[in-house]
Amino acid sequence: MNAVAPMTNTASLAVETPILEMRGISQIFPGVKALDQVSISLYPGQVTALIGENGAGKSTLVKILTGIYRPSEGEILLDGQPVQFSSAQAAIDAGVTAIHQETVLFDELTVGENIFLGHAPRTRFGTIDWRTINARSRDLLRQLESEIDPTIRLKDLSIAQRHLVAIARALSVEARIVIMDEPTAALSRKEIDDLFRIVEGLKRQGKAILFISHKFDELYEIAENFAVFRDGKAVGHGSLKETPQAEIVRLMVGRDVHDVFPKITVEIGDTVLSVEGYSHPTEFRDISFELKRGEILGVYGLIGAGRSELCQSLFGITRPSAGRLTLDGKPVEIRSPRDAIAAGVVYVPEERGRHGLALPMPIYQNMSLPSLAKTSRSGFLKASNELKLARQYAERLDLRAAALSVPVGTLSGGNQQKVVIGKWLATQPKVIILDEPTKGIDIGSKAAVHAFISELASQGLSIIMVSSELPEVLGMSDRIMVMREGLMAGFYDRSAATAEALVRAATGNA
Amino acid sequence: MTKLLKSRELLLSGIILLMIAGFATRADGFAEPGNLVNIFNDTSILIILALAQMTVILTKSIDLSVAANLAFTGMAVAMTNAAYPDLPLLVLIVMALGIGALLGAINGFLVWILQIPPIVVTLGTLTIYRGMAFVLSGGGWVNAHQMTPTFLNVPRTVVLGLPILSWVAILVVLGMIFLLTRSSFGRSAYAAGGNPVAAIYAGIDIGRTRFFAFVLSGAMAGLCSYLWVSRYAVAYVDIAAGFELDSVAACVIGGISIAGGIGSVIGAVLGSLFLGVIKNALPVIGISPFAQMAISGIVIILAVVFNARAEAKKGRIILRDRATAEVTA
C-alpha cells in the first residue's frame, strides 16, 4: 500500500467534488418504473451506504452503474464530465467495478486466472503471461492482507477466501469506484472485520465505495454517507453518523401501510396445519407454528433467511431432518410433492418460469398437470375434462388467452402467473403457500393479486405468504413470522406488527 | 407454436413428396405405389426405433444403446430359434420384448437411481450390450438355413396389400400416439422434458418417468431385433451398427427438440420416412455406394440446420422482447 500517499490528497478534497454523480436517473421497464428520478453522489475516500427493501431499486442502480442497463432518463457525471456507460466494458474502462452478492468466479480455474480472466496480460508473442498474472495476483492479494497462492484452484478455497479473490479481481482493473453488493452476507464476524480493514484500505487509496447491506450495525461501522431508496425513489440521503437508525428505518418503510390493502376480515377457524420443530440440516432449524382456517400467515425475512427453503420442505421438495406436521388434527408425513398435493398442501413458487410452468405445453395441460388423477378416466387422460377444469379456473382468474390450447410460453407474465395459481387452485388445496406472490409484477396487477389472496382466505383457505415487501406483509397478514438466518426471530399479531419491529427482528438489530 | 409445429410437419411432408417426385424423374417407377410400399416397409424398423428414441428424448434424455440392444436381443432370439425350432413364434417375440425391456430397464435404473447422465449410461451400455452379443455368439453367425420358415416368413406375409412388418410399424405408431397423448405417462414425459423443475413441483416423479421411457425404448428395440433378424435372415454381432444414430437423426429431422419436451409422433414418423426415401433413392439413381453414406450424412446435417434455425428464430424473438424490456430507451 505504498502507492497510497499521493492519493490521500484527493481524499481530503473529497467533500466538495464527487468522483461520480448520478442525476435524475429513471429506469422504466414496461409497466414498472424501477427507478424514478434518483440522484446519488459518490465521494473519493468515502463509503456510501445504499439502503432499501428488496425491490426498492438498489440492484437496478448497480446495473446502471456497471453498464448492464442504460437508464431511460438522467445523466451520469464522472469527475464532472457527463459519460455514458453503453456497455459493461465502458463502465470498467471508466473505473467502476462491482463485487456481487453471489460472486461470479470459476471453480476449476486457478486464483490467478480468475483474477485476470478477460484481461490477462500477454507476452511479446501474444500468449498469456503467466508469470505476470501470478506475480500481480500475489501483489493484489497481499494488498488485501492475504497470502493465497495464485496458482491453486478456486474450488480449494473457503467462501471468505473466494470473496477476497473476487475483491482482488475487482481491484485488478484500475478501479476508482467500487460497488459492494451485500458483501458480508456469507461471512463470519471475523471475516467481516477483515473485509472492513480492506475497505478502510480502499478508502485510504481514495476510492469511492458504494456499499449495499441490510445490516445496520455494519453500515454504521463502515459508511460515512447513506442514501435510502423506496419503491424506486431516493427518499433520503446524508451523513450516516448524524442520522439515527430509527430515522433510516422510517425512511425505508415510509408510509402507513395498513389501509391500502384489500384485506377482508375473515372469521378465523380451527387449526388446519401445525408445524412442530421443523428442521433442515443446513437451511433452517426448529420452526414451529400453527396455521388456522382462513388465516394468512406472513413470513418475512431477508433473502437467505431460509423462508423459501422452509416452504419447499413443507411441500416435500426437500425432506426435513426433524419435526412433525399435523394436518386437520392428524399427523402427516410429506415426503414428496405428490404427498403434499394429496394432503392438500400446495406451493406456488417464486420463479414461475423456472419452477411453475412447462412453457412449450398448452395452457390447459399446465393447469391440469397436478390434477391429472381427477381429470383422467380409468387411467387415461381425458382432454375434455382437462379443458373443463382449465376453463373453470381461467374464468375465475380472468385469464386472457387466445385459446386454452396455446402454449403457455406465448402468454404475458401476468397471465402466466394466473396459470400457475389456477393450476394449484384446481387441486382444491387446504393450505396454499405463496412464495413472493407479487415479485416482478406492476403495481396495478399487485392490487389484483392481493384482492385475490384475500378472497381465497375468505373462502376458508389457509395461506402462508412469503414476502420480502414490508407493506405487503403488514397489509395482508393476520400474523407474521419473521425468520433470520434459518431461525424464527419473532411472531407478531397483525395489531402489534410494525415495520420497525419486523425490520429489527429480520436484521437482528436490537 | 402448435401451429408452427403443425406447419413444420406439413412442410416436411411436402419436402418428402418433392423428393419422391424428383427421384422419379431420374428413376422410372420410383413413385409407383409398389415401390412406395417397399420404401415404407424398409423404413418400418427405423420408424419403431425412432418412436422409442423420441419418448426417451422427450424426457430430456437419450438412448444410444438401442442398436446394441437390438443386436444382442436379435442374436439371443435367433440362436433360440435355431436351437429350439419347435418353440412357437409368439414365445420368441415375447422373449425379444422381455430381453429388450430388461436391457432398457438397466439403462433406466442407472439414470434414475444412480443419477448418471443418460448419454454416459447409454454410451457405456452400447458397448456392453454389443460385447454381450459377441460373448453370446462367440463371434458366430446365425444364418437363414438355421432359422425356421415361420420365423423368417411371418413379417413378410402380405396382408391387405402390406407386409406384416409394415402393419407392425403402423400399430406401433397408433399405440405411441395413444400413449403419448392419452396416458399420464405420456403427459409426464412431456412435462419432465419441458420443465423438469415444474414437473417435480406438480408431483411428477421425473426419475420414474425416465425409467419407463428407457424400458419402453428397450422393449421396442427388442421387438425390432426380431423384425431385423427375420428381414435380413441373418444374425451376427454387428447388425444395426450405428443405427442408434439414425434413430436420433429421424427424431431431430422430425422436429423433436433434443432439449426435451417438444415433439410429435407424426414428426418422428416423417423424419424416419425422410431418411428412408433418401436411402432407397440414392442407389436407384445410380450414386456410388461409397458416396451414399456421405450424402445421407450431408442431408441429415442440412435438415438439422434447418430445424435449428426454426428453433433459433423463436429464441431470438424471446430475447428481443427481453432486450426491449430491459433497455427500453
Give the number of other Cβ atoms within 10 Å of residue B92's Cβ: 22
Residue of B2, B201, B317 best to disrupt the A interface, most CBs of A under 10 A:
B201
Residue A439 neighbours by CB under 8 Å, 6+ apart: A55, A350, A468
Q: Across chain B, which distance is largest between two alpha carbons, in Å?
A: 80
CA-to-CA separations, A279 to A225, A282, A329, A350, B111, in angstroms, rounded? 40, 9, 21, 22, 30
Among the partner-chain residues A359, A365, A379, the one whose CB lies closest to the CB of B187 is: A365
Residue A10: per-residue pLDDT: 41
Per residue in A291-307, pLDDT tens?
A: 999 999 999 988 778 88
Q: State the count of interchain CB pairs (< 8 A) between A and B.
A: 93
Could you tell me what percent of chain B has a pLDDT over 90? 62
Min Cα–Cα distance to chain B from A229, Å? 20
CA angle B126, B128, B130 (to 5 degrees): 70
Scanning B59-163, the segments in alpha helix (DSSP H) are 66-83, 89-112, 118-137, 149-153
At which residue does the C-alpha cell 405428490 appear?
A338
Task: Find the residue in B nearest to A74 (Cα).
Answer: B329
Q: What are the beta bridge partners of residue A50?
A: A212, A227
User: Are B9 and B262 contacting, i.e. CB atoms less than 8 angstroms apart?
Assistant: no
> Is A357 in contact with B1 (Cβ distance < 8 A)?
no
A72 chain-B contacts, CB cut-off 8 A: 328-329
Q: How far is CA B322 from the centre of its chain?
A: 37
Task: Assess contact for A24 and A75: CB atoms under 8 A.
Answer: yes
CATH number of the structural domain A255-344+429-510: 3.40.50.300
Give A341's contacts in chain B (Cβ within 8 Å): 202-203
Total domain count for chain B? 1
Interface of B with A in 246-265 (CB under 8 A): 257, 261-262
| A1-95+176-254 shares its CATH topology with A255-344+429-510 | yes
Record: contact B198-A356, CB cut-off 8 A: yes
Of the partner residues B198, B202, B328, the one whose CB lies closest to the CB of residue A28: B328
CB B248 within 8 A of CB B62: yes
**Assigned C-alpha cell, A97:** 467495478
Q: Give the pLDDT of residue A12.
A: 42
Q: Would you say how long chain B is, in residues?
A: 329
Q: What phi and psi values does residue B142 have, to the nearest 5 degrees? A: -110, 120
- pTM here? 0.75
Q: What's the rounded Cα separation, in Å, for the pair A102 and A87? A: 21
Is residue B182 less than 8 Å (CB to CB) from chain A? yes
Kindly determine whether residue B202 and residue A337, on different chains, have CB atoms separated by under 8 Å.
yes
Distance from CA of residue A505 to its chain's centroid? 18
From CA A473, how far away is CA A485, in angstroms rounded? 19
Domain ranges in chain A?
Answer: 1-95+176-254, 109-173, 255-344+429-510, 357-427
Please name the amino acid found at residue B92.
L
Which of A372, A378, A389 to mutate: most B Cβ within 10 Å?
Answer: A372
Virtual torsion, Cα A443, A449, A455, A460, nearest 10 deg: -140
- Chain A positions contacting chain B at CB under 8 Å are 28-30, 69-70, 72, 315, 317, 336-338, 340-342, 347, 349, 354-362, 365, 369-370, 372, 376, 379-381, 405-407, 409-410, 423
User: What are the E-state strand segments in chain B?
Assistant: 142-143, 158-159, 162-163, 234-235
Identify whether the C-beta of residue A372 lies closer than 8 Å to the C-beta of residue B187.
Answer: yes
Residues of chain B with pLDDT under 50: 1-2, 313-329
Q: Do A70 and B199 touch (CB under 8 A)?
A: no
Phi, psi of A332 (to 5 degrees): -130, 155
Look at residue B308 in the predicted model and tell me its pLDDT: 64
Which of A85, A361, A382, A434 to mutate: most B Cβ within 10 Å? A361
- Smallest CA–CA distance from B1 into chain A, residue: A407
> Of A29, A337, A379, which has the smallest distance from its Cβ to B328's Cβ?
A29
pLDDT at A255: 56
Q: What is the pLDDT of residue B227?
A: 96
Tell the residue number behind the cell numbers 388467452, with chain if given: A401
Q: What is the reported pLDDT for B320?
A: 37
The domain covering A1-95+176-254 belongs, at the CATH homologous superfamily level, to P-loop containing nucleotide triphosphate hydrolases (3.40.50.300)
| Confidence at residue B264, expressed as pLDDT on a 0 to 100 scale | 92
pLDDT for res A510: 53
CB B247 within 8 A of CB B5: no
Q: CA–CA separation, A413 vs A357, rounded Å?
A: 11
CA-based nearest residue to A463, from A342, A316, A276, A295: A295
Distance from CA of B133 to the nearest CA of A (A): 38
The residues, any chain, with a CB within 8 Å of residue A473's CB and separated by 6 or more, are A298, A299, A300, A465, A467, A480, A502
User: Range of B80's domain?
Assistant: 2-328
A205 phi, psi to nearest 5 deg: -80, 0
pLDDT digit string, tens, across residues A72-105: 889 999 988 898 888 888 888 888 888 876 667 8
pLDDT 10s per residue in chain A (510 long)?
343 334 334 444 445 688 999 999 998 876 667 888 999 999 999 999 998 876 788 888 988 998 888 898 899 999 888 988 888 888 888 888 888 766 678 888 999 998 888 778 888 888 888 899 999 999 988 887 788 899 999 888 877 788 888 888 888 887 889 998 887 766 777 778 888 888 898 888 889 999 998 777 788 889 999 999 988 888 889 998 888 887 887 888 775 444 467 677 778 888 899 999 999 988 898 999 999 999 999 999 887 788 888 999 999 988 888 889 999 989 998 989 989 999 999 998 877 666 788 888 899 999 999 888 888 887 788 888 999 999 998 888 888 777 888 888 887 777 887 888 888 888 889 999 998 887 766 555 677 788 888 888 988 899 999 988 888 888 889 999 999 888 888 899 988 888 888 888 888 765
Assess B328–A contact: CB distance below 8 Å, yes or no.
yes
Contacts of A425 (CB under 8 A, 6+ apart): A393, A396, A397, A432, A456
Give, in order, the Cα–Cα distances in Å from A437 to each of A130, A181, A393, A456, B240: 50, 25, 18, 14, 54
Contact yes or no for A359 and B195 at CB 8 A: yes
Q: How many angstroms away from the CA of B314 is the closest CA of chain A?
A: 11
- pLDDT of the residue at B325: 40
Identify which of B182, B195, B325 has the shortest CB distance to residue A381. B182
Residue B217 distance to chain A (closest CA, Å): 21
Chain A contact present for B80, CB below 8 A: no
Helix B265-284 and helix B2-26, axial crossing angle in degrees, nearest 10: 10
Q: What is the CATH number of the domain that holds B171?
A: 1.10.3470
Distance from CA of B317 to the nearest CA of A (A): 11
- Edge-to-edge order in the sheet of strand A73-78: A32-42, A20-29, A73-78, A81-83
| Shortest CA gap B320–chain A (Å) | 14
